[in-house]
Structure 1
Amino acid sequence: MKKQLLLDLAERAGWTGAQAALSLAVVELADVPVWWAAPVALALSSAKGWVAGRLGRKGTASTLPAGADPASLARGV
């Protein structure tokens, strides 16, 4: 596997795990049914993508450095 693909995979898996763990913590602290964790994780994922798109490179929601991001390499950024 290419290094960029592995970094992209690790980034996505890491963010997904963090969002899932945080959403479960939120629903536990709020004392609401655990099925609410899915919409909370969706909101966290959307917020992360929006913030990364504004603070990171234009046209991508990645938080990887430009040299490691497959989306940036494909565009020649």
Structure 2
Amino acid sequence: MQRLVLDIAERSAWTGAQAALGVAAVGVADIPVWWAAPIALMLASAKSWVAGRLVGRAGTASTLPATKDPATPPMGA
């Protein structure tokens, strides 16, 4: 259950950060607000690519360490 809560918290935090950065970017660039969604999508894709190769559990888009990632099989499994 704790792993699930951490997974939900991680996903929610990253989604909020990406949305906030998208909105901030359109404000700074003075472009229409509808661009915030594609910008957030690009940020999410970039985060997933980096997480899958450099951070967290290899082969997943999670930034959680392998010991906390719900996709990691339990010890002895």
Structure 1 contact 23–41 (Cα < 8 Å) conserved: yes
Q: Deviations over 1:8-61 (max 9, x none)?
A: 000000000000001100000000000000000000000000001110332111
Q: Which residue of 2 aligns with 1:61?
A: 61
Q: TM-score, normalised by structure 2?
A: 0.90
**Identical pairs, percent:** 68
Q: Contact 1:66–1:73 (CA<8 Å) still a contact in 2?
A: no
Looking at structure 2, the residues matched to 73 and 20 of structure 1 have their Cα atoms a distance apart, in angstroms, of 31
How many residues matched?
Answer: 74
The secondary structure found in structure 2 opposite 1:48 is: helix
| Partner Cα separation in structure 2 for residue 32 and residue 10 of structure 1 | 31
By relative contact order (CA 8 Å, sep 6+), the higher-ranking structure is 1
CA RMSD in angstroms comes to 1.3
Q: Give the CA deviation at 1:72.
A: 1.7
Say whether the 8 Å CA contact 2:51–2:63 is kept in structure 1. Answer: yes
User: What is the CA-CA distance between 1:66 and the residue it aligns to?
Assistant: 1.0
Shift of 1:73: 2.8
Cα distance in 1 for partners of 2:73, 2:12 equals: 20
| CA distance in 2 between partners of 1:55 and 1:46 (Å) | 14
Aligned AA for 2:29? Answer: A
Tell me the equivalent position of 1:11.
10
